[in-house]
Structure 1
């Protein structure tokens, strides 16, 4: 009975520890993948920087790239810290497992030693026979025979438990050693990344000092860039307003046609035509969801919030949603800007229909409608879709163009004409 309780206790502890270990392992795997993804972004940004390093004049693209690299390096260090915290928890758990196994092994060995001493005292056949024949009756004799048989089996099981526990202990010690080595490697990575970040911050400081010192040289470029972006954003808002206006016209035409058909039916039946009832004006959202297909598409788009793919297969966010500043110049970004590889494909982030393909300042833009949502892709060198064409998630719609020396794509999401922060919608 005591052995059974001990076995059940060991089994429960083993199952609980296995569950915790699997959870920690998944967390460590996710953190490692995140760290590797950040490193790929840093390398991509550096590759693009190296291509423009030969130019004597600093570009806005280079400034934004260096800023993005600093942010990514900080994210990487933060991820390494999370890895170490998770690994520390795992080391603490594994240390506890080793101590528990050592304690259990000691108890098992003590019990086994007691059984061996008992077996040695009663090892000859005469003692066993005397033990049986000393019984008061046949029933007790039978029980003593069964006891001797079970005792032998029990001793064999106990030996097997000891061997299994020793094996588990050795395995757990190996896991603990591996975790400690991994932590040492993470500490080295952390130190290396901190040094790398310090160098990049120094580079950023020099760039910003150069920008401040020679701002007059860059002011014209900054002003030109801002004016172009303001013009593009104005054009995008006009395109969205045009889509909304067209849907309003369709809705009005549908209502008028329904009224005409109702009046014609009443006339054919010799009845008074139905009185015209002024309907409550529909909201922009209702107008853009004016069909079961558009309503379903809107709901599907919304249900994928936080899981939409990036408009580029690989890239770095160099300009974020909202207000920004470069030197003393300030502006507002209605979306986010991805720096990507030269000639990279630009992809639709969800199923929809191309509402508009246009060009401004020698570059293309594409608007794709997803019910009441509209996604906007700017700064394209070429396009491979046309207005009215249905597209699917991750379908290529064009290629990235060069902007300020860097291959970039600007991406926006609008709901009923209101710009949304794309970072809340795309996968991290």
Structure 2
């Protein structure tokens, strides 16, 4: 029973350690990804900060850097909690192994004392010959043989348990050192976060000095974005009208076929002096969503896009979201982002996040925007250069459609997802 208990404890501790190791690896990978993002944002910030003029991109980059720094501190906290769990678990295992080792040693000492009392052959022979019959003598012979074998096994158990105990103590020492290193790293990140927030305060103080220029800059960007949004809505409307025209043409042909069949049925009914068939109700006008998914191919695209919510690939291979979806207020200025802004590397390739059909490629004020239809869903890619697709082209998931252009010296992609014309938050659709 003691042996079974020991085996169970060791099995459970190994299983729990493997689970903890898996969690630790996941947290470590997440932290490394955050560190890469922070490093890239710092490079972008150095570019934007080198100019005297304060830009919206600079403010967004600092805010994104603070968010990432807070995420990293949260990840470190999770790592520390995971290590605390391992430390507690390994400490309990060490105590259990120490108790088991003590019991095994006591039991082994008892066997040694017994063996000492019966150490010569004469004592063993007397023990066997003292049996009352042959059957009992045979059992005593087997007992002595099994006792000798068990004593050897017991010595092996003691040795293995001691090795396991030493291994657990080493793991415990290593875990304690890792926790100490993480606590130091956490303290460093808190200091860096404090510096980032001081930088944010300095930038916002500087903003008050450049308020007029900054407001003009935002007004110019809003005007440019409004022009792009009008072009996007027009492209989506054209796609809806084209889908509706095709649906109506198919419905007209189906109605003509139905009318011919009904006319033949009426003629036959009159000739046979039977009741004339009642005319079917007129078809209802399709909604925009119904028109966009009227064909089986479009319906499959739309369903496939919807089923990949939260799993769509990013439109660039690497990058950080520096401006989120929705309303934003900076000092006295406010504006709405119908998508997200992704800061990426110089010359980064922009990719389609899902298969579909290109419905717009348009250059507006020196920047190209691409709109791709996926049934009733549309994805929008703004601030491109070197576009490699044309209107009417079919594209596959992750197919290159162009290269990201720079805004205020930083490569920035503006990305939107729309259902018909309503904007959706892309962070809910692309993979985490």
1:357 and 2:361 aligned? yes
Instruction: Choose the corresponding residue for 2:414, options 396, 407, 410.
Output: 410
Q: 1:28-427 maps to which residues of 2 (within 5 A)?
A: 28-266=24-262, 270-271=267-268, 275-427=279-431
- For structure 1, the residue ranges without an aligned partner over 5 or more in a row are none
Determine if contact 1:263/1:273 at 8 Å carries over to the other structure.
Answer: no
Whole-Å Cα distance in 2 between the matches of residues 55 and 201 of structure 1? 20
Whole-Å Cα distance in 2 between the matches of residues 16 and 298 of structure 1? 47
| Shift in Å, 1:396 | 1.1
Whole-Å Cα distance in 1 between the matches of residues 161 and 300 of structure 2? 58
Change (3 A) 1:282 1:115: farther
Q: What secondary structure is seen at the aligned counterpart in 2 of 1:325?
A: strand
Whole-Å Cα distance in 1 between the matches of residues 278 and 252 of structure 2? 13
Q: How many residues align?
A: 424
Alignment RMSD: 1.7
Determine if contact 1:233/1:334 at 8 Å carries over to the other structure.
Answer: no
| 1:16 counterpart residue number | 12
| 2:273 counterpart residue number | none
| Shift in Å, 1:279 | 2.6
Determine if contact 2:54/2:210 at 8 Å carries over to the other structure.
Answer: no
Runs of 4+ more than 6 Å apart? none
**Greater CA deviation, 240-249 or 166-175?**
240-249
Whole-Å Cα distance in 1 between the matches of residues 299 and 235 of structure 2? 21
CA deviation map 1:64-97 (0-9, x unaligned) = 1111111111111111111111111111111111
Determine if contact 2:312/2:353 at 8 Å carries over to the other structure.
Answer: yes
**TM-score, length basis structure 2:** 0.94
Determine if contact 1:267/1:273 at 8 Å carries over to the other structure.
Answer: no
Whole-Å Cα distance in 1 between the matches of residues 133 and 301 of structure 2? 85
Whole-Å Cα distance in 2 between the matches of residues 401 and 132 of structure 1? 96
- For structure 2, the residue ranges without an aligned partner over 5 or more in a row are 269-275
Whole-Å Cα distance in 1 between the matches of residues 292 and 10 of structure 2? 57
Whole-Å Cα distance in 2 between the matches of residues 315 and 213 of structure 1? 31
Q: What secondary structure is seen at the aligned counterpart in 1 of 2:405?
A: strand
CA deviation map 1:136-170 (0-9, x unaligned) = 21111111111111111111111111111111111
Whole-Å Cα distance in 1 between the matches of residues 132 and 240 of structure 2? 101
| Shift in Å, 1:303 | 2.2
| Shift in Å, 1:260 | 1.1
